[in-house]
Amino acid sequence: MYKETIFSIIIIIIVVVGNIVTQNYTNYSVKKATSELEKLKQELSTETEKINWNEVENKFANMQKEWRKDFEKLAYYTEHDELEKVDTNLTGLRSYIETKEEIEAINELEKSIFILKHIEDKTRMNLKNIF
């Protein structure tokens, strides 16, 4: 009886610590990606004639490279559907940046930010997500 109790407590501690670690990494990854997307949004929100598309493409390429690194780690414990939605939107965003369509690019950017925040909310440990 005593061994089972100790074993159960250890398992509960491991689950809670694992949840905290994964939640912190998810929050870090989402905030990093969201921050980069917000910077891109500011760049795209300037007057059309003043947009430096080469700089926007470079910033986006760097952001997407960082996202791919985070994606690989997040895929271990986050629903793949959610991560693939972000990837799909980023692919659309890349095409709009390449064709210099700022309004559509901003729309895809907003969708990406929304889904990233949804992933963050979904992985948060609270009663709503438990039940």
Please compute the mean of the pLDDT values over residues 22-32 and round it to a whole number.
Answer: 93
Q: Which residues contact 18 (CB under 8 A, 6 or more apart)?
A: none
In contact, 100 and 53? CB cutoff 8 Å: yes
pLDDT band at residue 122, thresholds of 50, 70 and 90?
A: confident
Q: Whole-model pTM above 0.75?
A: yes
Give the model confidence (pLDDT) of 102-120 as tens digits. 889 999 999 999 999 999 8
Please write the tens of the pLDDT for every residue from 53-88: 888 899 999 999 999 999 999 999 888 898 999 999
